[in-house]
Structure 1
Amino acid sequence: MQNRRQFLKKAGITTAAAGSATLAAPYVRAQSPIRWRLQTYAGPALAEHVIKPAIDAFNKAANGEMEIELYFADQLVPTGELFRAMQNGTIDAVQSDDDSMAAPVDVSVFGGYFPFATRYSLDVPALFYKHGLAEIWQEAYGEVENVTWLSAGAWDPCHFNTKDPINSLADLEGKRVFTFPTAGRFLSRFGVVPVTLPWEDVEVAVQTGELDGIAWSGITEDYTVGWADVTPYFLTNNICGAWIGHFFANTERWNEVPEHLQELFRLATDSSHYYRQHWYWAGEADLRVNGEKMQLTTIPDEEWETVEAEAEKFWDEIAAEGGRRESVVKILRDYRELMRKAGPPYRYG
């Protein structure tokens, strides 16, 4: 028995090349784990929901083989520099939308909030994994050196939270608003003045008068990150039903990760996408009804229809740029028509 134990011990640390009877070398926990640095677009309070649970779960399940260090918005690099920092290896992975991190791909305009592209959060995974957007994103990022697109998911809808009440389109005129690049480009058609600031400076900018409001989230985030304390009004109309965000990795670092850990990371990102589906959905309804910090206002439907009509023109302008942008707009339009034909609960009216 002692000899058998000695044989098994020796066999377990012998390489496979030594012979067909050799046992595979087991993973040794004492080996140095793979270490990644991942930066999210989200500040600390928001990251507690949109990514931290998934990364904590990954680190636990990786069982010492890999460890991901999570960094928050602008903590290592400004959000607008996330793409380049990941590409050159300063950070290993990113959670963000294409738009705000200035991804050099033609589909980046659809990241974040593309006006009226979605009605509900479930539209995002449906569009990517049943209607062809995933293949388009894979193709686009496949042309970019050293960055791998991993997955897409939905966040919250895009509403206005403001210092003064918004009851008509005229009330938006001249308002200085923190928002995303493409959303700001669209909203400027209605007199909104888009402002770009580091995420952590937004609350103070509202207090000092540098900003009149924010068009960056739904009401769940307003309460979670503290904006509800400085913007007492919430506009129930939204310009998009869900933010489109993604997980990305530096390609060289991704390829160094064993296949089983790659699969574990994908499962963790799916967990993050799933958590947000119910967290936002529940929060948006509950805080509209039970939240005590923000007063709800609404622009009448007949007036808001002019905003939706302007979005059609915006879509046409983007599609006219050709290539993948034209293909994405066609998918969005085909999907919207399918949802309309399906009727409630997919689309009402």
Structure 2
Amino acid sequence: MNSRRKFLTTAAALTAGTVLAPAKTFAASPKIKWRMQTYAGPALAEHVVKPAIEAFNRIAGEEMQIELYFADQLVPTGELFRALQKGIIDAVQSDDDSMASPTEVTTFGGYFPFGSRYSLDVPVLFNQYGLDKIWKEEYAKFGIKHISAGAWDPCHFATKKPINSLADLKGLRVFTFPTAGRFMSKYGVVPVSIPWEDVEVALQTGELDGIAWSGITEDYTVGWSKVTDYFLTNNISGAWIGHFFANMDRYNELPEHLKELLALCMETSHYYRQWWYWGGEAQLRVNGPDMKLTTIPDEEWAQVESDARDFWDEIAKESPTKAKIVEIFKQYNADMEKAGRPYRYS
């Protein structure tokens, strides 16, 4: 089974490599050259990062160019933090959870269960409720510059069998994020950690029963919709929290105008994902041909949402910084509930 997985994964990577080229560079010998690795595979990177890096390279020209590498091309995703800290690579696009960040904020990267309902919650939490300052302070302790945070897609289950109740989750071997897996294990889900590029084949071979890694847009974009049969409309969180990081020394060497250009291009990347995922999630639920939609009844799913608040309290007990972040999530969500429609629907 493992041999078959390795063979099919390699074949798929070769096929993808002939179709999806890396980001273009626009200067043969730039004054400054960076290497950036994203958590995303080639098909997904075409949307979540490549356009922004190509825009940066066009504008920066001879002054600076960024070579973009896809998931695991230079180092395994789980080693991104250390590679960035040591200067092996210059910049990273990832969530904290996936890159095994040892910071106090790692638990909240990726999908913090029910921390957000919509993608716009993420930039508001960072820019208006103080998370940006906390992230910058935490990463600076390790010699890493946190440039910015943005929202990706919501987190849903895509599975081989239909999920119509919480009982149906029991025993499912699911590829998911560490924090989301820790929470969902309460309902019998068995979190499985394998390289991202192995997921499709693991679903084909039966090593995985499903994934809780993304929304439906990503399922279709990377091919997972072809190897799963059902999509659960209930989500664990409304948006993935992902970031751009740089090695602090390399970042500080940049002239101010290139720092600003870097920030602006990364903001365009955040904005692109806002509408690409938001529109894609709805369009593919309505018109996507590959997966049937299933739903756990609201009255049953309400228990999961309630349990998430207890989970938050567990996390808060782990350190003062985590307690501070949990309080921000609580205050923000309370404010949104009080604000009512369209911010929250009861």
Unaligned runs of at least 5 residues, structure 1: 1-28
Per-residue deviation, 1:32: 3.9
Per-residue deviation, 1:33: 2.5
Per-residue deviation, 1:322: 3.0
The residue type equivalent to 2:227 in the other structure is V
**Normalised TM-score (structure 1):** 0.90
Pairing partner for 1:56 from 54, 57, 64: 54
Between the aligned partners of 2:290 and 2:102, the Cα distance in structure 1 is 39
Q: Would you say 1:200 and 2:197 are equivalent positions?
A: yes
What CA RMSD, in Å, does the superposition of the two structures yield over aligned residues? 1.1
Give 2:243's aligned residue. 246
Paired residues of 2:92 and 2:245 also in contact (CA < 8 A): yes
Give 1:157's aligned residue. 154
Percent of residue pairs identical: 71
Per-residue deviation, 1:170: 0.7
Between the aligned partners of 1:128 and 1:257, the Cα distance in structure 2 is 24
Paired residues of 2:123 and 2:149 also in contact (CA < 8 A): yes
Q: Deviations over 1:270-329 (max 9, x none)?
A: 000000000000000000001111100000011111111111110010111231111111
Give 2:65's aligned residue. 67
Larger Rg: 1 or 2?
Answer: 1
Give 2:186's aligned residue. 189
Give 1:92's aligned residue. 90
Give 2:270's aligned residue. 273
Per-residue deviation, 1:89: 1.1
Give 2:105's aligned residue. 107
Q: Deviations over 1:245-271 (max 9, x none)?
A: 100001111112111111111011000
Give 2:332's aligned residue. 335
The residue type equivalent to 2:88 in the other structure is T
After superposing the two structures, state which structure 1 stretch, 97-106 or 275-284, moved more.
Answer: 97-106
After superposing the two structures, state which structure 1 stretch, 227-236 or 30-39, moved more.
Answer: 30-39
Give 1:219's aligned residue. 216
Paired residues of 2:30 and 2:65 also in contact (CA < 8 A): no
Between the aligned partners of 2:318 and 2:249, the Cα distance in structure 1 is 32
Q: Would you say 1:167 and 2:160 are equivalent positions?
A: no
Paired residues of 2:30 and 2:61 also in contact (CA < 8 A): no
Q: Would you say 1:177 and 2:184 are equivalent positions?
A: no
Per-residue deviation, 1:30: 9.0
Between the aligned partners of 1:127 and 1:30, the Cα distance in structure 2 is 40
Between the aligned partners of 1:164 and 1:233, the Cα distance in structure 2 is 6
Change (3 A) 1:255 1:117: same
SS at match of 2:89: coil
Summarize the alignment of residues 261-300 of structure 1 with structure 2, pairs less than 5 Å apart: 261-300=258-297
Between the aligned partners of 1:290 and 1:30, the Cα distance in structure 2 is 44
Unaligned runs of at least 5 residues, structure 2: 1-26
Pairing partner for 1:131 from 129, 132, 138: 129
Q: Deviations over 1:7-46 (max 9, x none)?
A: xxxxxxxxxxxxxxxxxxxxxx997421111000000000
Between the aligned partners of 2:32 and 2:214, the Cα distance in structure 1 is 34
Change (3 A) 1:100 1:296: same
Give 1:26's aligned residue. none
* Number of aligned residue pairs: 320
**Normalised TM-score (structure 2):** 0.91
Between the aligned partners of 1:79 and 1:31, the Cα distance in structure 2 is 28
Per-residue deviation, 1:151: 0.4
Between the aligned partners of 2:149 and 2:189, the Cα distance in structure 1 is 29
